[in-house]
Homo-oligomer: A and B are copies of this chain.
């Protein structure tokens, strides 16, 4: 199998503005996330990074066509992502590109568009300990992940998390404050596979955590499509007895 082609998209705002974030992620959060994937997948992946400030946010048609799986980290600047780029990414997901959405990406335009809900939740950034429990132990994304996965301190996200019921619920987090969160969820949209994974905040070294990196890398492997072509589902008319050749749509009125 050829290596999976991965783009890690980073908003790259906190790192520029906030000294304490830059200290944890001196090359930007996206570089640390990318390193974690390389560390786990080795020759099995070619991982690049792009950021919000790149032309077209680094997500041109050409780039997306060469991308098997897109990993998304954003937080402070969701509103700055151009609608046109969101539409393009959406089209590529429905056409078969995998998508990994991390943490605060729950409020990104692309995730909300794919979910159809408010994607709201409860939160607190007060150094809670997080424990991540596996409830789907045969899922490939849970491979090699400790039960529980322990994160010494992290931001808290709690239920109710307003998402559609996930196709597969893999992980549930608890926090030292007592909250629970569905923190590892898969969704299928069109020909695309989506994995949402909760941990990680700019204020914590979460993306240096060995097991968090493992989960993200597992997600990348899982989200790569088995379909040979990048193509979205289309509406077609089929004659009686003809199952393979459909005709394009010509409008609702004869």
Q: Which residues of A contact B (CB under 8 A)?
A: 14, 17-18, 75-76, 94, 96, 104, 107, 113-118, 120-124, 126, 128-129, 131, 133-138, 140, 142-143, 146-148, 150, 158-162, 164-165, 167-169, 172-180, 182, 187-193, 225-227, 232-241, 243-244, 246, 252-253
Q: Which residues of B contact A235 (CB under 8 A)?
A: 107, 118, 120-123
CB pair B161–A135 under 8 Å, yes or no, is: yes
Minimum C-beta distance from A222 to chain B (A): 10
Most buried by B among A76, A118, A121: A118
- Chain A to chain B contacts (Cβ below 8 Å), 28 pairs: A14-B253, A18-B253, A96-B138, A116-B189, A118-B190, A122-B235, A122-B236, A123-B236, A124-B237, A124-B239, A124-B240, A126-B239, A131-B178, A131-B180, A131-B243, A133-B179, A135-B160, A135-B161, A135-B182, A136-B165, A142-B226, A150-B243, A165-B168, A165-B169, A172-B182, A174-B174, A174-B180, A177-B238
Copies of this protein chain in the complex: 4
Q: How far is the CA of A234 from the CA of B161 in the complex (A)?
A: 9
Q: Which residues of B contact A189 (CB under 8 A)?
A: 116-117, 164
Q: Which residue of B lies closest to A235 (CB)?
A: B120
* CB-contact partner of A180 in B118, B129, B172, B244, under 8 A: B172
Q: Are A137 and B191 interface neighbours, CB within 8 A?
A: yes
